[in-house]
Structure 1
Amino acid sequence: MASNDRFRAGGSPRPLKTSDTWWYAAVAGEASGSFHTRVRTRTRRACLGAVLVLTVVYAGLVLTATGRRWGDAATTGRSADTTAATLLREHPSLAGLTTLSLVLGCVLLLAVGLIRKRYALTGAAAGAIVTALALTGLLQRYAPRPRLLDTGGALLPSGFPSAQTTLALGIALGLALVVPYRLRGVAVGAATLWAVAIGAYTVAAGRHRPGDVIAAALLALAVHCGLLALLARRGKVRPGARRGPTPAGLSATLALLLVAAAGLGAGIWLLGATLTLPAGGPYDPAELQLAHRCGQALAAGVAAAAGLLSLTLLRRVELEGAPTPYRLGGPFVEDTGAPREGELVGPFTEDLDHEIS
Structure 2
Amino acid sequence: MRIRMRRACLAAVLLLTVAYAGLVLTATGRRWGDAALAGRLADPAVAQFLREHPSLRGLGTLSLVLAPLLLAGVGALRRRYALTGAALGTVAAALVAAELLQRYAPGPHLVDASGAVVRSGFPSSTSVLAAGTALGLVLVVPHRLRAVVVGLAALWAAALGAYGIASGRLRPGDVIAADLLVLAGFAAVVALLARKGKIRPAPRRRLPPQRLLVAVPLVLVAAAGLATGAYLLLSCLPGPGPLPADLARTAHRCGQALAAGTGAGVAALLLGLLRHVDLDPGPAPYRLASPVPEDPFPEDPDHEIS
Q: TM-score, normalised by structure 1?
A: 0.79
From 80, 92, 110, give the equivalent of 1:130: 92
Whether 1:291 and 2:251 are equivalent positions in the alignment is: yes
Which residue of structure 2 aligns with residue 105 of structure 1?
67
Give yes or no for contact 1:238–1:323 (8 Å, CA) kept in 2.
Answer: no
Q: Are 2:170 and 1:213 equivalent residues in the alignment?
A: no
Q: Could you say which residue in structure 2 is the equivalent of 1:29?
A: none
- For the pair 1:56 / 2:15, whether they are aligned, the reply is no
Matched, 1:267 2:229: yes
Question: Matches of 2:64 and 2:210 in 1, distance apart?
Answer: 23
Provide, for residues 283-321 of structure 1, a one-character-per-residue CA deviation record: whole Å limited to 9, x for no partner: 221211111000000010011100001101111100131
* Map of 1:280 onto structure 2: 241
Q: Matches of 2:143 and 2:108 in 1, distance apart? A: 46
Which residue among 262, 274, 295 is the counterpart of 1:314?
274
**Which secondary structure does the structure 1 equivalent of 2:200 belong to?**
strand
Given that 2:28 and 2:239 are in contact with CA atoms closer than 8 Å, whether structure 1 keeps it comes out as no
User: 1:149-228 to 2 correspondence within 5 Å?
Assistant: 149-228=111-190
Contact persistence 1:51–1:219 (CA under 8 A): yes
Q: SS of the residue aligned with 1:99?
A: helix
Larger Rg: 1
Tell me the residue number matched to 1:47: 9
Supply the distance in 2 between the matched residues of 1:193 and 1:110 (Cα, whole angstroms). 20
Aligned-partner Cα distance in 1 for 2:143–2:109: 47
Alpha-carbon distance, 1:245 to partner: 2.4
Post-superposition CA distance 1:92-116 (Å, at most 9, x none): 1111100111112111111110001
* Correspondence for 2:37: 75
Q: In 1, are the aligned partners of 2:155 and 2:218 still within 8 Å (CA)?
A: yes
Give the match for residue 3 of structure 1: none
CA–CA distance in 2 between the matches of 1:47 and 1:159? 22
Q: Decide whether aligned partners of structure 1 residues 284 and 342 sit closer, same or farther in structure 2, where only a CA change above 3 A counts.
A: farther
1:185/1:245 contact within 8 Å kept:
no
If the length of structure 2 is used for normalisation, what is the TM-score?
0.92
SS at match of 1:235: coil
Distance 1:341 1:74, change over 3 A: farther
Q: Quick one: percent identity of the two aligned structures?
A: 59
Distance 1:341 1:297, change over 3 A: farther
For the aligned residues, what is the CA RMSD? 1.7
User: How far has the Cα of 1:324 moved from its partner?
Assistant: 8.4
- State the alpha-carbon separation in 2 of the partners of residues 325 and 167 from structure 1: 38
Deviation larger for 302-311 or 83-92: 83-92
1:170-205: CA deviation from partner (whole Å, max 9, x where unpaired) = 011010111111000000100000000010011001
User: Which runs of 4 or more aligned residues in structure 1 lie more than 4 Å from their structure 2 counterparts after TM superposition?
Assistant: 323-326, 339-343
Aligned letter for 1:242? R
More helix by share: 2
Task: Name the counterpart of 1:20.
Answer: none
Q: Is 1:136–1:161's contact at 8 Å kept on the other side of the alignment?
A: yes
Alignment of 1:25-40 (within 5 A): 39-40=1-2
SS of aligned partner of 1:202: helix
Cα distance, 1:151 vs structure 2? 2.4
Once residues 40 and 291 of structure 2 are traced to their aligned partners in structure 1, the CA distance between those partners, rounded to angstroms, is: 67
**Taking structure 1 as reference, are residues 342 and 312 closer, same or farther at Cα in structure 2, changes over 3 Å only?**
farther
CA distance in 1, matches of 2:112, 2:285: 65
Within 2, Cα distance between the matches of 1:321 and 1:151? 55
Q: Deviations over 1:127-185 (max 9, x none)?
A: 01001101010001111110112222211111100111111110110101111110000
The letter of the residue matching 1:292 is H
Aligned length: 291
- Confirm whether residue 257 of structure 1 aligns to residue 219 of structure 2: yes
Q: Take 1:50 and 1:209, find their aligned partners in 2: how far apart are those partners?
A: 19
Q: Secondary structure at the match of 1:273?
A: coil
Which consecutive unaligned segments of at least 5 residues does structure 1 have?
1-38, 327-338, 344-357
- Corresponding position of 2:295: none
Unmatched tracts of structure 2, length 5 or more: 293-306
Distance 1:143 1:122 in 2: 30
Contact 1:78 1:206 in 2 (8 A): yes
C-alpha distance in 2, partners of 1:94/1:161? Answer: 22
